[in-house]
Amino acid sequence: MKNRVIGIMGAMPEEIEGVVALLSNCTQTTIGKRTYFSGQINEIETVVVFSRWGKVAAATTVTTLIHKFNITELLFTGVAGAINAELKIGDIVLGKRLIQHDMDARPLMPRFEIPLLSKTYLETDVSYLSIASNAIKALLETKSLHTVIGEQDLIEFNISQPRLFVGDIASGDQFFSKNEQKQHLISQLPNILCVEMEGAAVAQVCYEYKIPFSIIRTISDVADDHAHLDFPSFIKKISSTYAAQIIKNIFSAI
């Protein structure tokens, strides 16, 4: 049986800083303009990396994790724009299914279907979904985030009682900053909870290599005309702490 090695990816440098701080015996390896941080979290071999933005960058990074670092499972943590009206800034979305909203090979095959795989949605392994869900619920129920994030920062983003949502996440090489984009996506994929730029690409590579994965997203904005204003401030003040706390709780549960 292969030794367990968990890969952790984030699409922003700030999203992995707190996670890298969790590593013991940390070493660095640079490959393809990315720095891979290797060490242990709770005595489990772990590799953490900033993937860069977009589906190509994310797919390249997870492939390197598989081939060069022999990961056996993958966690992706980052931010996303809310599509579902129930979501608020600070809520957490755990991907049950991932879809590429910009995949369109019509008329050769139905819209959103991945060529050659005959799949539209990529599903998260049920056991991994359960582990991540329980770990995140415990984090939210104990209000642990309120002890590590300043009160003023929570007030700025109106975060009081963040919630966990489990469902569909859409990925594509677009930053959503217009109401028109959001409404168009809802008309095409009404069950989508949130939108981001990497998750479905990571899910596809993991599916093809039979690597279990979890895609975890914190809502940074509501994917509308104000998204570009909220995003940088949220990344700096909130999401890096969320990422570290979520990963810490997951590792305590596995």
Q: How do residues 200-214 score in pLDDT, each as one tens digit?
A: 999 999 999 999 999
Q: At what angle do helices 240-253 and 13-20 cross, to 10 degrees?
A: 40
Show which residues are catalytic: 15, 221
pLDDT over 90 percentage in the chain: 73
* Assigned fold of 5-253: Rossmann fold (3.40.50)
Average pLDDT over residues 42-52: 96
Name 130's Cβ contacts closer than 8 Å, sequence gap at least 6.
none
Nearest residue to 110 via CA among 167, 188, 56, 193 = 188
Question: Which two tokens mark 91?
Answer: 């809520």
Asked whether residue 45 carries a pLDDT value surpassing 80, the answer given is yes
Question: Burial letters for 156-183: b for 16+ Cβ neighbours within 10 Å, e otherwise?
Answer: ebebeebebbbebbbbbeebbbeeebbe
CA distance 47 to 254: 16
Q: How do residues 117-142 score in pLDDT, each as one tens digit?
A: 999 999 999 999 999 999 999 989 88
Asked whether residue 224 carries a pLDDT value surpassing 70, the answer given is no
